[in-house]
């Protein structure tokens, strides 16, 4: 089934991601505290919050690369970590995962062969590789060794890898860090094009508040909790502030003035009724592989 924009229809409910009571522990601490949120399909949702608030952990959980998870997390209508989701999600981590001793094209060809093995897919793979390189504006560097690229160019190779399988959901962990303003603008143009033309659902994290204005919707996070879930306009109006940054600070102050919930249940030992009552319980030790090759070993941390 297809939606209006030509992308895949994700769920009868029209929700790409649904989290209820989502809790994650890392080390000896709970780092995500009973999160409730949704991500709409075919839109760009920004995950914003200060360093260490849990953005990467949430993204790892979405792609099934995080252990010690309780609660409900449905992604494209299936429990996070399901094997069936692997080819439907593109995940770009903060550290570009490319082979320095291969050219841009060879890097892409390698990952394309993993996604669609077999001689009969050769022509299709070639077309996918050429399109993905053009998507990230690296056509003029097709035959350059990845090791000779700048940091920003290497991140774009990682993004091209994630775009290879035409994913329905793209999960991007701080993709614009360290990029100059022109490249940042070009990347945001690409994200909007992917959402509008291919119906791709994009979840993109950032700790730069001015990037919030470029998103259709925002999830504002702090200390492993969702402070707000709204459009940029909605946030400004609701807090009567002139910018998303000011709205964020307003919400931080508001939250600080409220008493905190007492419980931080350790995953595996749910204490709240909500945690017992999941529509799709997710497997806390699932170690499915994101497109950038997150491993079972990583899933245990």
Out of 52, 124, 147, 268, the residue judged to bind ligand ATP by CB under 6 A: 52
Cβ at position 229, least distance to ligand ATP in Å: 17
Q: Compute the least distance from the CB of residue 52 to ligand ATP, in Å.
A: 4
Nearer to ligand ATP, 26 or 216 (CB): 26
Concatenated DSSP letters of the chain: -B-TTSSB---TTS-SEEEEEEEEEETTEEEEEEEEEEE-TTSEEEEE--TTSSHHHHHHHHTT---SEEEEEEETTEETT-GGGGGGEEEE-SS----TTSBHHHHHHHHHHHHS-SGGGHHHHHHHHHHHHHHTT-GGGTTSBGGGS-HHHHHHHHHHHHHTT--SEEEESSTTTT--HHHHHHHHHHHHHHHHHH--EEEEEES-GGGGGG-SEEEEEETTEEEEEE-HHHHHHHHT-SSHHHHHHHHHHHHHHSPPPS--PPTTS--SHHHH--SSB--TT--PPPTT---TTGGG-
Binding flags for ligand ATP, 181-210, as an x/- string (CB under 6 A):
--------------------------x---
- Least separation in angstroms between CB 237 and ligand ATP: 26
Q: Which is nearer to ligand ATP, 51 or 140 (CB)?
A: 51
**Among the residue ranges 50-58, 105-113, 128-136, 183-191, the one whose residues contact ligand ATP (CB under 6 A):** 50-58
Nearer to ligand ATP, 109 or 174 (CB): 174
Q: Is 56 in the site for ligand ATP (CB under 6 A)?
A: yes
Q: Which stretch binds ligand ATP (CB under 6 A): 23-31, 38-46, 70-78, 192-200?
A: 23-31
Q: Which stretch binds ligand ATP (CB under 6 A): 25-33, 152-160, 186-194, 246-254?
A: 25-33
Structure tokens at 297: 């070993």
Out of 35, 48, 53, 63, point to the residue binding ligand ATP (CB under 6 A). 53
294 near ligand ATP (CB under 6 A): no
Residues of this chain that bind ligand ATP (CB under 6 A): 26-27, 31, 49, 51-57, 207, 301
């Amino acid at each position: 089934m297809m939606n209006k924009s030509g992308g895949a229809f994700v769920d009868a409910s029209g929700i790409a991601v649904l989290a209820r009571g989502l809790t994650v522990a890392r080390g000896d601490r709970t780092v995500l505290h009973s999160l409730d949120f949704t991500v709409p399909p075919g839109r760009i949702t920004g995950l914003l919050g200060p360093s260490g608030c849990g953005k990467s952990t949430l993204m790892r959980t979405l792609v099934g690369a995080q252990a010690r998870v309780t609660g409900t997390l449905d992604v494209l209508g299936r429990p996070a970590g399901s094997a069936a989701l692997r080819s439907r999600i593109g995940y770009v981590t903060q550290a570009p995962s490319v082979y320095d001793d291969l050219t841009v094209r060879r890097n892409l060809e390698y990952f394309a062969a993993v996604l669609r093995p077999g001689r009969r897919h050769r022509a299709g793979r070639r077309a996918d590789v050429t399109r993905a390189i053009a998507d990230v504006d690296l056509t003029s560097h097709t035959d350059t060794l990845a090791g000779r690229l700048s940091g920003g160019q290497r991140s774009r190779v990682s993004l091209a890898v994630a775009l290879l399988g035409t994913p329905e959901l793209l999960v991007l962990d701080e993709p614009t860090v360290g990029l100059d303003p022109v490249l940042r603008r070009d990347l945001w143009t690409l994200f909007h094009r992917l959402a509008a033309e291919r119906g791709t659902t994009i979840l993109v994290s950032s700790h730069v508040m001015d990037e919030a204005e470029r998103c259709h919707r925002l999830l504002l996070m702090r200390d492993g909790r969702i402070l707000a879930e709204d459009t940029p306009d909605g946030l400004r109006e609701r807090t009567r502030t002139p910018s998303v940054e000011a709205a964020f600070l307003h919400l931080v102050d508001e939250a600080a003035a409220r008493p905190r919930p007492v419980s931080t249940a350790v995953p595996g030992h749910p204490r709240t009724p909500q945690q017992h009552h999941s529509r799709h319980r997710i497997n806390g030790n699932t170690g499915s592989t994101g497109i950038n090759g997150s491993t079972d070993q990583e899933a245990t941390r």
